Structure 1
Amino acid sequence: MKKNIFQIVGLFLLLPLLAGCNDTDDVAAIFTGKTWKLNYITVDGGHEMFNFWGTDNTARTKSYEELEKSGSYNIVFDGIADGDIINGKIRGTIVKSFALEGSWSANGKDNSFSASVSGNDGGDVLAKNFMEGLKTATSYEGDTNGNLYLIYKGGQQTFRMVFRVVNN
């Protein structure tokens, strides 16, 4: 009898933990308070840079050199969450110190994302695709451990922009 009482009490103690679980992301903790740097853009499910350059190895080399520079391909999200939704400003640097700016929104319940940005791609092939990805991204995946993925359609393919944190 005592064993059954302890089991019942144990179950009641677990109820608050189970009831506290939800499937909503903490969008403010994921996006804000960090500087995000592009790692690469890949076809969804891939793990390497998509070949946006075709056979133009000179343009590819130029893009990779710019990607490796400190301060390029960086974005910062500022915003205020209201429930599951956050809205705010986005700013950053693309290439050759060309700035980007605009607004963004994300929903922690359905992982939707949208951004309206403007900036100069400096004629760089990767920068052009970076800007296009930000403008057309419709969803995100991320966590508070420094992982952020923006997903967008490019023609017939789905692309994933992979970011890492460069500072907090």
Structure 2
Amino acid sequence: MNCLIRQTYRLLLVLSLLPLLSGCNNEDDVAAIFTGKTWKLSRLTDKGNGAPFYSGIWNNNRDMEESLNKLNHETSYFTLEFEGEELDGELMGAKVSGKGVGATISGTWDADGKSKALTFNLKVSGTENDALGKAFIKGLQNVYKYEGDIHSLTLYFKDGGATRVIGLTPNK
């Protein structure tokens, strides 16, 4: 009986050490998170604010209504698409494109799955006259980090002294 108890203790000891022997990967799979879908703007607000949009985007209610109508009813406006794949821990072919209302963006992107750092090198084409479109593109030009998964993406950017967020969800 003593022999059986000792063997059981040894087995339990070995099993309890297994988690220590296996490595833990706290790094995001950035290709899976960003690519393979079209991301659509869902909010543009101050960090920590529950409101969907920060104050000061629109000059009047008419402009706000027009922007929100475009946001809610036009699937091609306020979008981002990421290309790229991970190969041996490196992001390859990392291109990004997007659209406000009157302007489009294109360029490259780089994300670090461990630190959550995100950088864009963007070129804007066209003229953006929509106030929400202007705020969206300006925010994208100043992004410095991300949070999220395949269902929801939050991009953080600096705007003067404020930290703001661009919330995105897959376009349906």
* Alignment partner, residue 157 of structure 2: 152
Which structure has the larger Rg?
2
AA in 1 matched with 2:98 = G
Once residues 54 and 124 of structure 1 are traced to their aligned partners in structure 2, the CA distance between those partners, rounded to angstroms, is: 9
Question: Structure 1 residues 73-82 or 125-134, which shifts more?
Answer: 73-82
- How is 1:79-158 mapped onto 2 (pairs within 5 angstroms)? 79-82=84-87, 84-86=89-91, 88-95=94-101, 98-117=103-122, 118-120=124-126, 122-144=128-150, 146-158=151-163
- Percent of counterpart pairs with the same letter? 31
Output one character per residue of 1:107-146: Cα deviation in whole Å (capped at 9) or x when no partner: 11211111122133531111111101111100111113x1
Aligned amino acid, residue 137 of structure 1: V
Give yes or no for the alignment of 1:67 onto 2:75. Answer: no
Alignment match, 2:3:
none
Cα separation, 1, equivalents of 2:87 and 2:54: 36
What is the CA distance between 1:83 and its match in structure 2? 5.1
| Residues 8 and 21 (structure 1), Cα distance of their counterparts in 2 relative to 1, 3 Å cut | same
Q: Determine if contact 2:28/2:114 at 8 Å carries over to the other structure.
A: yes
CA shift for structure 1 position 77? 0.3
Q: Distance in 2 between matches of 1:13 and 1:21?
A: 12
Structure 2 distance, partners of 1:5, 1:78, is 50
The answer to whether the 8 Å contact 1:86/1:107 transfers is no
SS at match of 1:149: strand
* Count of residue correspondences: 163
Normalising by structure 1, we get a TM-score of: 0.86
Cα separation, 2, equivalents of 1:136 and 1:142: 18
Q: What is the aligned-residue RMSD (CA, Å)?
A: 2.0
Cα distance in structure 1, aligned partners of 2:157 and 2:117? 11
Q: Please, which runs of 5 or more residues in structure 2 have no aligned partner?
A: 1-5
2:42 aligned with 1:39: yes
Question: 1:58: which partner in 2?
Answer: 62
Please tell me whether the aligned partners of residues 144 and 157 of structure 2 are also in contact (alpha carbons under 8 angstroms): yes
1:3-18 mapped onto 2 (5 Å cutoff): 3-16=8-21
